[in-house]
Structure 1
Amino acid sequence: MASGLQTTMASPTETTTTTYFADLAAGKPIRYDMTASKGKALFATKSFVPGEPLFNEMPFVSMQHVPNQSLVQGCENCHVIVGSIEQQLAHVLHVEVGAVPPLPNQLVGKVPVNGKCTCACGAIYCSPTCRSAAWERYHCVLCTGHPDTPMHDFLQHAIDTNEIFLLAAQVLGRISVAYAKDQDMAAARRPVDMFCKLPWWEVVASEEDLEEGQSMDEYCGIFRHLLEETFALFMDGLRFNSAHLVLHEPHPDETSDFMSALHWENVVSDGVANGFLSVDFFANVVGMFEMNNISMEVRHPLSLLAERYEDSGDAEIAAWLDVVETQVRVQVKMHMDNDDDQDEDDDADEHEEEEDEDDDIMYPDLDGTALFSLVCTMNHSCEPNVAVCYESNGLATVVALAPIATGDELCIAYIETEQDVEARTHDLREYKFECQCPRCLRER
C-alpha cells in the first residue's frame, strides 16, 4: 500500500489551510484570513472602484447543466460554445445546418468560429488541447467509451436522478488521477479537504419537507439510500475503467506519454482504505456542492453577434437577425415550457412571473455550475460588493459592484437579493447560517 494515506474525512489544520489559500491568492490583490464570526474570508489589499476587476480564477470542477445541452453545445473543458454560428444556430433550432437562415454575405468571414472535436464517449470539446486537458485531469477514469460500460450506467443514473452526482464524480476522478500520478494521497485530496463539507442530506433536508408522521431520520434515509445506489454504480465504473487504463494506457493524443507515468494498480484499493472512495466522502462532496457551488453563465455567440450588429444600419443583417431571433425565441420558449412541466415545485406566482418574462426570451446562454477554490471562499452579503462574471472560456472574473477600500471583506450574493428579508432568510437556510449583513439587520 502506498504511503501518505490519511483518515476518511481528515480536516486540515489552520496552518495548512492558511498556507493553501495564501498560495492561491499569491499575485492577486486579495488576502485570505479567518474571521471569528464567519470563518474563511477574502479581503482586498488595495482599493477598487465599481466595475473594476479584482481577480480571476478557473474552476476546480465545472459542468454545463444537462438540460441546457439541448440548446447550447459547449466544450466540456473550458465551456467555450463550439462550432460556427450556423452550427450553433442549427443546434438551438434542432435542425440541420442547411436548414438555418443563410448568414448574410456581410457577415461571412467576420464571425469567430470555434472548433469542435469529440471523445469516443461523445463528450464535446473545442479543440484537441482541451480534450487532452480534460482527459488528464479526470475524464480518463469517467469516460464511458461506449454504452455497454459500467460507467455509462452511472452516467445515465445521474442524469435521471440528480446531475450534481456527475460533478461529484469529477472530484473523485481528479483525486484518483492525481494519486495515480504522484502516489501522494494528502496532496491529491487537499483541494477538496479545504472546503466546508456536510453530508448531502444534512444540507438539503428541511423540517418543512417532511410528510405527516415522517421523522427527519427517515427523510434523510431516502437521500442516503439514493446516494448509496449512486456510489455503487460509480465504483463499478471506476473499477472497470481503472483496470482498462492499466492494460491499455489510452489517450486521445496518440503521441502523448502522459498515461505511461500513472500507476493505477492500487488507486481503488488505496482510495477505499483512505476513505475518499466511500459513501460518506461522496455524500460530503455532494453536500459541498450544495453549499459552495456557483452558477456559471457563458453568453451565446448569437447574443454577442446581435448586440454587435443590431444598430449597424444594414437592412439585410437586421432582417436576418429578426428571422433568427423569432425562430430561437420559439425554440427556447418550448424548452422552458418543458422544464416547467417537469418541475412540480413551481407555484402559481412563479408561473405568472415566467409568463411576464416570455417577451424577454433571447438567445440561450450556456448555463452550468462550478466550484472555485477562491471564489467560493467569499462570504455572502445581501449587499454584495463584488459579483462574478464569466468569460467565454469559463474563466470567472470577480468585479467590484461598489467602492472597495483596502482591508474590506469581499462578499458576493449566494441568493437572489431582490426580495424581502423573510424570503432571503428562507433561501439561506440551506447554507446553514442567518445573514447578519447591514441590510438584513436594517430590515428585520
Structure 2
Amino acid sequence: MAAGDSSGVEVRLNLPNKGRALFASRDHAEGESLFEETPIVSAQFLWNKLYKYAACDHCLRSLETAQGMCRRLTNNPSLELPHPECCPVDDSAYVSCPHCQKVYCSATCRDRAWSQYHMTLCRRASVSDDDHPLAKLEEAWRNIHYPPETCSIMLIARMIATVKQAKDPSSALAAFSQFCHTTVNEEEEIAHKLLGETFQSHLELLRSLVTGALYEEQLQQWFTPEGFKSLFALIGTNGQGIGTSSLSVWVKGCDLLTLGDEERESLDTLIDRVYDDLDKACGQFLNCEGSGLYSLQSACNHSCDANAEVTFPHNDFTLCVKALRAIKQGEEVCICYLSECDVERSRHSRQKILK
C-alpha cells in the first residue's frame, strides 16, 4: 500500500537497543528527497473534522480554498486574498460516497477508500446516524480525548476494516505486525496516555464499542483487553501526524511569483497580517490534521540532531523524508520527533517529552 521510490533507503531489523532502523543505501545530497510514501492507513482527527476542517476523507487533501479557510477561521466573510491562481483547489473534481455522503477530492480517492475500508465503515442511509454504532464510538472518543488529538479511534476502525476487506487478510495483518507495538517501553513508560491506569474505564468503553461495531473472528486477538491495548500502543509508537493546508499551498505559490519590490513587500505584509489574525482566532490549529501509519517512516529513529525531516509536499497524506544535510551510504536516517521549540530544551526535558 506504500507508494513511491524507496530504492535509496533500507530497513534493518533486530538491531541492539534499536529494533528497526532506516539506513541510506546510497549517498544523498542535502535537500534531496530520500523517499515518498503513502500510509497503510490514515484518518482525520475527529475534533478537527467536527470543527469543519474540510479534508478528503481518504487522502486528507484540504478541500477549502485558502481564502475560504481564512474567512472561516477568522470569521471575516469579506476577507480577500490576492492571486487566487496560487491556490489550485478545484472543487469540480470533488465526489461523495453515494450512500453516506462522505466527501473525497476525486473519484480515485473515493474508489480506493471503498475498496480498502469504507465498504465496511460506510453508514448507509437505512440507519439513523445518531444510532449508528460508529457514531456512538466517535462520540465516546470526543468525550474522552479532547484536542489536541494525537490519534483517532477511527484509525483503529480503519485498520480493522482494512483487514476485513483484504483479499488476503493474512498479508494485511502482516503489514500491521511490522510495527513496534509493545504496551510499555524499557523504563515501563506507557506508549499512549490512554494506556495509563487513569483511563482504564475509558479504554474498556472504547473496546466494547469497537467490538460491537466491527468484531471479526479472524481478528479476535485485537478485541481482547490486551490486544486492544496493543493497537493503541502501536499507534502511540508509530503514528505520524499529518497536516494539510490550502493556505500553505497558496503562500508557497505566492513566494514563487515574480513581483516588483513594492508589490512583494505589500504581499508579504498582507500574509503576515493574515497569519497574525489566524493566530488570534485559532492559535496552532490551522491545518486539516490526522494521523497515519507509514512503513518506511516508522523505521526512522529519533535524533535531536536529525539528518532528515518529514514533509507533506503535495497537500495530502503523501509523506516525504528529505535530507537536512548530506547523508552517506550506510548512515542511519534519523528524524526529530520534537517541535522546533522543544528541541531547544534541556536534555532532561527532551527525554521527558519523548517518553
Q: What is the TM-score of this pair, normalised by structure 2?
A: 0.79
Structure 2 partner of 1:17:
none
Matched residue of 2:222: which SS? coil
Change (3 A) 1:48 1:331: closer
Change (3 A) 1:330 1:110: closer
1:31–1:43: 8 Å Cα contact kept in structure 2? yes
Aligned pair partner of 2:190 in 188, 198, 204: 204
Shift of 1:111: 4.0
Opposite residue 88 of structure 1, the aligned amino acid is: M
Structure 2 partner of 1:334:
281
Shift of 1:374: 0.9
Q: What is the TM-score of this pair, normalised by structure 1?
A: 0.65
Structure 2 partner of 1:73:
54
- Where do 1:56-95 residues align within 5 Å? 56-69=36-49, 70=51, 72-93=53-74
CA–CA separation in structure 2 for the residues paired with 1:205 and 1:271: 22
Question: Would you tell me which structure has more helix in proportion to its own residues?
Answer: 1
Change (3 A) 1:141 1:279: farther
Shift of 1:199: 3.1
Structure 1 partner of 2:159:
171
Matched residue of 2:28: which SS? coil
Structure 2 partner of 1:49:
29
Structure 2 partner of 1:244:
none
CA–CA separation in structure 2 for the residues paired with 1:165 and 1:148: 18
Structure 2 partner of 1:377:
299
- Where do 1:56-205 residues align within 5 Å? 56-69=36-49, 70=51, 72-93=53-74, 99-101=77-79, 107=83, 111-115=87-91, 116-119=94-97, 120-121=99-100, 123-145=102-124, 146-162=129-145, 164-178=152-166, 181-182=167-168, 184=169, 186-199=170-183, 203-204=189-190
Matched residue of 1:276: which SS? helix
Matched residue of 1:204: which SS? coil
Structure 1 partner of 2:148:
none
Structure 1 partner of 2:330:
407
Change (3 A) 1:56 1:150: same
CA–CA separation in structure 2 for the residues paired with 1:315 and 1:91: 29
Opposite residue 183 of structure 2, the aligned amino acid is: P
CA–CA separation in structure 1 for the residues paired with 2:4 and 2:12: 11
Structure 2 partner of 1:346:
none
Matched residue of 2:34: which SS? strand
Pairwise CA RMSD of aligned residues? 3.5
Opposite residue 174 of structure 2, the aligned amino acid is: R
Structure 1 unaligned runs (5+)?
Answer: 1-22, 210-218, 240-267, 337-360, 431-444
Over the matched positions of the two proteins, sequence identity in percent amounts to 25
Opposite residue 235 of structure 1, the aligned amino acid is: T
- Where do 1:285-324 residues align within 5 Å? 285-298=231-244, 300-309=245-254, 312-313=259-260
CA–CA separation in structure 1 for the residues paired with 2:208 and 2:226: 12
Q: Does 1:227 align with 2:203?
A: yes
